[in-house]
Amino acid sequence: MEGSHPSSIITRIVNRRQSPCKRFGSMSANWDHEADSVNRRKIDMHDFSYLTGISLHEPSPRTACRQKLVPAAIVICLIILCPQCSIAEPAYPRLSPSEIPPLPAHPASQRPPTPPARHLPVRWVRESEEMAAPLRIICYHPDGVVADRAMARAIARIHQLNAVFNDYDPTSEVRRLCETAGTGKKVQVSDDLWRLLALSLKISEQTSGAFDVTIGPIVRLWRRARMSREMPPAWRFDQARQAVGYQWVRLYPEERAVELLRSGMRLDFGAVAKGYAIDAALQVMREEGVPSALIDLGGDLGLGDPPPDRHHWTVAVAAVKPGEPPSYFVRRARCGVATSGDRYRFVVIGGKRYSHIVDPRTGVGLTDQSEVTVIAPNATLADALATAVSVLGPEKGLAWVETFPDTAALYLRLVGDHTEVHTSKRWKELSGETADAQL
Ligand code: AMP
Ligand code: MG
């Protein structure tokens, strides 16, 4: 049984000031759906990526009063409870120490000059769907025209990245690259593809392949299994596994070219592309003079400068147990927050629940019912680490997260009726547990 559509379980942010312009676009090309599926329409409705990190805006009483806005935001997430299944966790080789060069953190922006009293920042919200996930941009600016232009350009940038990373679109840059796998050809790629591939390969190396950006052939098998509700035959897994291996990607830095050494290889950026798109969109907002912004793409968040008169945004992390209210919050600005888990994308076969996140060593979807939230200097890293830690498990995964600067993780796992909670050492500090005292 597939999970329910996120929109059915998320309460609305009320009394928001909507942008005066029309909503931008609608459904983008499918990101995580089988393009050739006859069930596509059905899957479109039921197979969105999960939305677990929900942003709560906390307007200052003063601003809200001045603008006659009702402050708001409520979050309720339900989780589908399925029987706990377990598989033996494979022993990954020792993880190497952190070598990943830090991606640019979201810097404190040059705030625009303080506007005159009659032009106080106003809250603007825009919602649509991008990369087959719900997108919400919240920002503050005194001028609606400026805010709207910034949001439109941010969304256009996400569209542009969809055309690079969309695995379902045979004309996307990544699909065209995969067409050359095993032919001995190297292909020059765009800056965006180069940057995200280089980062993904480093994460793949550091996790000894627990995270693997070449997981595409196995992920395809599981997508089909989600639709047919049948376990693919073993020979299919064997065949797919032969085309998986980050070590079969060769980079030519001088030419910014890539060669995929084995035929049938398929890169899959599903674990990182949303985070990357969020960072790119926040960057656009900043360049457009709207640094006070939050971007939520399918539950992965990029936090820019905080709302006026506040020190932080507040984000609720949904409880892993169905029906329970969130008990963890992140109070931060200028960082990324991402959550990975099997809340909305899983399949039950033979009474066992399998996640859309796959263990590359076994080829099998994870059977732990868990939810991993990562706070990192940017959304790209948060997104990548949340998926990687889901595969690594709490012990290895959280120890590894601690090797990254300004990064922390929360690992929630449902065991029977009980939620196990694991946190990395800096979770309390970086989630701003005491931030309410500040403002
Ligand atoms: P996320 O929702 O960010 O955790 O990413 C999940 C997506 O990452 C899946 O839908 C796959 O496209 C991809 N994926 C699944 N397993 C892995 C893995 N072990 N390593 C890298 N990417 C994966
Ligand atoms: Mg991810």
CA of 300 to the centre of ligand 2 (A): 8
Is residue 282 predicted with pLDDT exceeding 80? yes
Q: Which one of 358, 372, 380 would you pick to mutate in the ligand 1 pocket, going by the greatest count of ligand atoms within 8 A of its CB?
A: 358
CA of 132 to the centre of ligand 1 (A): 15
Complete DSSP assignment for 387-428: HHHHHH-HHHHHHHHTTSTT-EEEEEEEETTEEEEEE-TTHH
- Beta-carbon contacts of residue 202 (< 8 Å; ≥ 6 apart): 99, 100
> Per-residue pLDDT tens for 171-216?
999 999 999 999 999 999 999 999 999 999 999 999 999 999 999 9
Rounded Cα gap, residues 358 and 246, in angstroms? 15
Is residue 391 predicted with pLDDT exceeding 80? yes
Q: Which ligand is nearest to the CA of 342?
A: 1
pLDDT for the residue numbered 302: 98
% residues pLDDT > 90 (the chain): 59
> Per-residue pLDDT tens for 17-62?
333 333 322 223 233 332 222 222 222 222 222 223 334 444 344 4
CA distances from 151 to 42, 141, 170, 336 (A): 30, 11, 28, 18
Rounded Cα gap, residues 29 and 169, in angstroms? 7
Q: Is the CB of 340 under 6 A from ligand 1?
A: yes
Residue 210 and residue 220 in contact, taking contact as beta carbons nearer than 8 Å = no
- What integer best gives the mean pLDDT of the chain? 78
Which residue shows structure tokens 């600005």? 333
pLDDT for the residue numbered 191: 98
> Model-level pTM?
0.78
Rounded Cα gap, residues 432 and 23, in angstroms? 34
> Per-residue pLDDT tens for 95-154?
443 445 445 566 665 555 555 545 789 999 999 999 999 999 999 999 999 999 999 999
All structural domains of the chain, each given as residue ranges with its CATH number in brackets, are 6-168+269-437 (3.10.520.10), 173-260 (1.10.3980.10)
CA distances from 94 to 146, 157, 207, 381 (A): 50, 38, 8, 21
Rounded Cα gap, residues 281 and 336, in angstroms? 12
CA of 356 to the centre of ligand 1 (A): 7
- Beta-carbon contacts of residue 241 (< 8 Å; ≥ 6 apart): 217, 218, 360, 363
Q: Is the CB of 371 under 6 A from ligand 1?
A: no
- Ligand 1 atom closest to Cα of residue 300: 3
Q: Which one of 50, 167, 219 would you pick to mutate in the ligand 1 pocket, going by the greatest count of ligand atoms within 8 A of its CB?
A: 219
Instruction: Tell me how crowded residue 308 is: count the other CB atoms within 10 A of its CB.
Output: 20
